[in-house]
Structure 1
Amino acid sequence: MKDRIQDVRQAADVLHDVLQPFGYDYLQIDDGYEQEPIGTPAHWLHPNAKFPAGLDGLERDIAGRGLVPGIWTNACFGDSAYVFAHPTEFVTTADGAPAYGNWVGYVMDASNPATLDHLVRPVYDSLARMGWGYYKLDALRHLRYEGYNSHADYFRARGLDRETVFRGFVQAVRHAIGPRAFLLACWGIRPELIGLVDAVRVGTDGFGYGGFSEYNSYNNVVWRNDPDHIQLAAPDAYRAATLASLTGSLLMLTDRPELYRTARAEIAKRTAPVLFTRPEQLYDVDPSRSALVGRAATEVSGSGPRAFDADQRLTVPLYLLDVSRPFERWSVLARTGGADTDRIRFADLGLDPDRAYLVFEFWSRTLLGAFHTEFAPGPIDPVRQVQVFC
């Protein structure tokens, strides 16, 4: 079996050499290091044969290159032998059998202190002591939907509030990793976790554009929105990286490391660092999803996006970021297309239409000139699929 630590070291070397100078400081390993069946602390903390140096050695390799080590974890539990040996640590059905759900496996009962003491805290206490500083906590929607909501009678019979129990699971993680570690909740809108998590993957797997307009009022107010990873090798890489950066969203890359030594790295370099920006609107541009967020309290299936999860589609053509500093002010406008955007009126951007403005296109490095009232952005480069004016 191949030693995958060499792959991580290669990625760390490239990230350190090429992208860290531009603000890319985190390197997160994903699913694949843990032992099966998933769930017990030993199977999380002592990785499989693909990582013979162990997680502590892996953390040192990443941190030794000046990067923040990040790690994927999961709320799923699959070790049936442990479940039947410790039945009180798991949710049960009406007939007393261990509850089991898609993508969550056996359902850990976070209302039982023993569950947290035996299965949750040991994992995250140990990872924190090793030095891991970024945590992606996956399958939370399934713990909530297939786990707790689907077995509402279990909690009702014990006088327990499901949301409080669910929140208690993540509180145990947060307490173990400390307030300074970055915690990403994955995936789907998680209103129960406000104040506990730093970011939420607002849509399904694969980069999604919908959250930029459907949950824009949440971004960097409630949490930082994560549209999921960007592939610089993908056709829409310029557009995806531009909008993630301009909106102040989480920007994570996933490609073969050697790609970052090619010209495609320009995309990542020129869209970094991501500013911690807050939305000017107190509302969502498209409220069709956020208006339904209350359904998370009763949803029983996390199979695919729910009506309140962020969409994947690109539906809004213009994105505006106003930057004000004591020495200068800018309006930065991203355009992705649409016939109704072939003329940009300054008044629509909140600018004084009686003044003249210089307009510069960022990606092509082109000064369009000085304009009054409005300007014509011209055609969008089909390779980049986006324009940025400032």
Structure 2
Amino acid sequence: MNPTTAKEPPVAHALHRWEAETRTLHYDYGGFPLMSMYIPEGVVPYYRQYSNGNLQSHPFIQQLYLALDKPASVKISFHLSEDALNMRPHRASKGQAILGQVGRPLLEGVNGLYDLLQDLLIDWHGTEWKWTNSSLKSDDAGRWHAELEVQGGLTPWIVNLRMHYYRTHLHYRHHQPWEWRPNLQPISGWSSWEAFAQGVSAEDIERTTAFLEAHFKDYGMEYVQIDDGYQSEVIPPDGEGKIADAWLYTNERFPNGHEEIAGEFRNRGFKAGIWTSAMVTNREFAELHRDHFEKDSNGDPLYGPWIFYVLKGNPEALAEHVAPFYQALREQGYEYFKTDQIRHYLFDGLHNAVNDGLITSEEASNQLREYLRCAREAIGDDSYFLVCWGVLTEAVGLVDACRIAGDSNASWTAVCKQMVESARWFHTQRILYLNDPDYVCVRTDEAWGRSLLSLVSLSGGLLMLSDKTELYDQSRIHAIQRCFPSLSTVTGETGPLDATYPLDLSLPQAPQGTIDEAFARALLGLDPDSRDPHPTASLWSIHFDTPSRRWCVAGRFAVVPLEEAKLELQALALAPNDEYHAFDFWKQRYIGKITKSIRLEALELGHCQIVGLYKAEDRPQLIGSSRHVSMDAVSVQDERWENHSLLLELRGVLGTTEHYWIAVPSSYKHEEHWATGLEIAIANCESTDDGNLLKLSVRFDQERGEAAIRFSTESDYLS
């Protein structure tokens, strides 16, 4: 596991203190400074001095306010822990993009901060305000700080503090980030399930991993996972044997056992992953070990759909039947573990015992949690742990990833559901764990696959392909390479789960490629005549904040057919009066310089438009890339402007060529260029309203290199 050094924050008031010498109102929480308000001379502040603002006892909310006797600008500083984010304190509402972030940007109009290690949400309302910096700043101790200016006056500026926010307000009661954090690394890989199902063989794995190595490994594919089909059909195979036998002794399609499977993965340079299940299907075994299984009202081993016989989640049963196979698989070299049927174990298994009055609901939840704890301890702190399927509060604080959607496949119903559930559960992304929308089936309609790849990569979801690789034509290979690896995106918004549209609909399936519009709208619970330009899950805004660059990628996804739309930049959490260069990724096309709003094209069902938005600088700047859908959080390691030269540090796949677009104001002229470790060429590809666009083509003779493009100005010629 990943223990932290933080202490549990109190469910208690932030306490105020007035510092007359500096005219500063301070609020301290948990023994540390939390917020400081600097009041100008000649202004009388009004604030809650005696009542500490307890609005609600459980879950706990404290409200603070500041009013002034006359209009004045007040500087506010927030002092946060070693892990904190700017976060909108509600889910995307009508017309707003779903917000994500890579880095720690401070976003236009996003009126909240989430202190992750304290599980504290801070939000503010009431008067105009603006950030004074573009990013959260870190001090020498690694603690984060943010600063804003409030236009104060008689109208109060209101601050709400929600202590233990995810734990009590959103009811994830096992979320205790001061004790443990999951492994939140990006995950990109391939699984055997949708490709071969239970018929998978050693020959399938050997052939597939060779293809994956050749086409995707250098682009960021890291894991290959064997799914259902390597184990014995009956669990365990012998009533007098052990459950571990089902998982440790492979079937006839894998005659050389796990050494053959995990060894093939590792020999190709991948980390080895494996699927197991909480099922026990052998009735004889359950009868012989009756004390370790839940019983029904007749005293027989309890039976439930999908889970079959329900193993008890107590220390004795888990130590004898569960820990051994997890430990042994770890010793075989597996580093990525997917445990399936946990929802069925709880709701179709243990809760059947609750229905019969044999155990309580609390005992059922505790048994599931102990099952997961046993697995976690057996695979070790350094293994990756994914549970499947369904978001369960019992899994929080024990697992690294959780599958948020039902089973995937190549149909539009499944693809749409994956995109919609990625939106529904985005408030948990890298707060509780990594979200897994299930396998991405790129063999589907090409446009649908490109959309799903783009969304999962940009939103930072667990990105695991699952197709027979012979179904990948060159266009699909190219799309996968543009979306690998998945990103480290964290949610930029929070709030209660939106349950106002369906998780799934069992509607008649139209033939592949002939989904009609009414069907598509019904999947989202929409009126057939609805023409909402941005329905649920269709609009995303991912903000990137690196030491050398800052930009936004807007994604529009046609979960239903979308008409052409004018989108206000504020909906993307961008400053409406700033100018931005806009670049369409999949069309590799410069849209132009925009302000206040952007015109988005009409999209057919399942299609997408991905647009990079870069605040326009009064100098040449990078505004587009062919390498990655993020444009470009993957290949651009650094961008600097020094001595009239644009300097780029780039990382790419050896032997490949990528393209980068540079916007050049009319006051600059390209003079020369050079590179180390790279072969570069520059072409003047088009004129813009106030300059021109250069296309930099880079061949990676080495994996890393530097390119330099020198420019001159009119003043250089005059001098």
- TM-score normalised to the size of structure 1? 0.88
Larger Rg: 2
Per mean C-alpha deviation after superposition, the further-off stretch among 24-33 and 202-211 is 202-211
Residue pairs, 1:99-138, within 5 angstroms: 99-111=302-314, 113-138=315-340
Give distance in 2, aligned partners of 1:254 and 1:103.
Answer: 22
Q: Which residue of 1 aligns with 2:231?
A: 34
SS of structure 2 residue aligned to 1:28: strand
Q: 1:274 aligns with which of 452, 467, 486?
A: 486
Contact preservation (8 Å) 2:338, 2:385: yes
Residue pairs, 1:143-222, within 5 angstroms: 143-152=345-354, 153-156=357-360, 161-206=363-408, 207=415, 208-222=418-432
Gap runs ≥5 in structure 1: 293-303, 305-310
Structure 1 pair 54/97, CA: closer, same or farther in 2 (3 Å)?
same
1:205-236 deviations in Å (ceiling 9; x for gaps): 11422222211110111111111111111111
Q: 2:568 aligns with which of 334, 342, 345?
A: 345
SS of structure 2 residue aligned to 1:161: helix
Residue pairs, 1:39-118, within 5 angstroms: 39=236, 40-111=243-314, 113-118=315-320
Amino acid at match of 1:61: E
SS of structure 2 residue aligned to 1:209: helix
Q: Which residue of 2 aligns with 1:297?
A: none
Contact preservation (8 Å) 1:361, 1:388: yes
SS of structure 1 residue aligned to 2:358: helix
Structure 1 pair 312/7, CA: closer, same or farther in 2 (3 Å)?
farther
Amino acid at match of 2:568: R
Amino acid at match of 1:9: E
Name whichever structure is richer in strand by fraction: 2
Contact preservation (8 Å) 1:318, 1:335: yes
Gap runs ≥5 in structure 2: 1-198, 237-242, 409-414, 507-521, 525-534, 613-719
Q: 1:388 aligns with which of 610, 613, 616?
A: 610
C-alpha deviation, 1:195, in angstroms: 1.1
Q: Which residue of 1 aligns with 2:169?
A: none
Q: 1:4 aligns with which of 197, 201, 211?
A: 201
Amino acid at match of 2:590: L
Contact preservation (8 Å) 1:108, 1:115: yes
C-alpha deviation, 1:346, in angstroms: 1.5
1:6-41 deviations in Å (ceiling 9; x for gaps): 110111111111101111111111111111212421
Give distance in 1, aligned partners of 2:278 and 2:523.
Answer: 24
Contact preservation (8 Å) 1:199, 1:224: yes
Q: Percent same amino acid at aligned positions?
A: 28
Give distance in 1, aligned partners of 2:557 and 2:492.
Answer: 20
Per mean C-alpha deviation after superposition, the further-off stretch among 371-380 and 242-251 is 371-380
1:65-94 deviations in Å (ceiling 9; x for gaps): 110111110000011121111110100012
- TM-score normalised to the size of structure 2? 0.49
Give distance in 2, aligned partners of 1:384 and 1:289.
Answer: 22
Larger relative contact order, structure 1 or 2 (CA cutoff 8 Å, min sep 6)? 1
C-alpha deviation, 1:57, in angstroms: 2.1
SS of structure 1 residue aligned to 2:465: coil
SS of structure 2 residue aligned to 1:15: helix
Give distance in 1, aligned partners of 2:376 and 2:609.
Answer: 40
Contact preservation (8 Å) 1:18, 1:261: no
C-alpha deviation, 1:384, in angstroms: 6.9
Q: Which residue of 2 aligns with 1:288?
A: 499
Name whichever structure is richer in helix by fraction: 1
Contact preservation (8 Å) 1:14, 1:261: no
Q: 2:554 aligns with which of 333, 353, 357?
A: 333
Give distance in 2, aligned partners of 1:312 and 1:148.
Answer: 31
